[in-house]
Amino acid sequence: MKIKTICAWCGGFISETNCPETKNFQALAKDGVMISHGLCPACRLAIETKYGLNKKGDDKNV
């Protein structure tokens, strides 16, 4: 079975890996592929810039 990770914001492909099948994989997968979401580097940078996140020496964004 494969797990495919796509960007939650832009829908772009991030990665695809093989994983062991579980007893419920057929209910979770479509055509043997499970979809997971993350953020691609471009969207992550855009979000950090827009909201002022990931700045050093300040805990206001915690």
pLDDT digits (tens, 9 = 90+) for 21-55: 777 666 667 777 888 899 999 999 999 999 888 76
Question: Is the separation of the CB atoms in 34 and 28 below 8 Å?
Answer: yes
Q: Give the model's pLDDT for residue 26.
A: 65
Tokens of 60: 């206001």
Question: Is the separation of the CB atoms in 44 and 54 below 8 Å?
Answer: no
Please state, in angstroms and rounded to a whole number, the distance separating the CA atoms of residues 50 and 46. 6
Tokens of 7: 């960007």
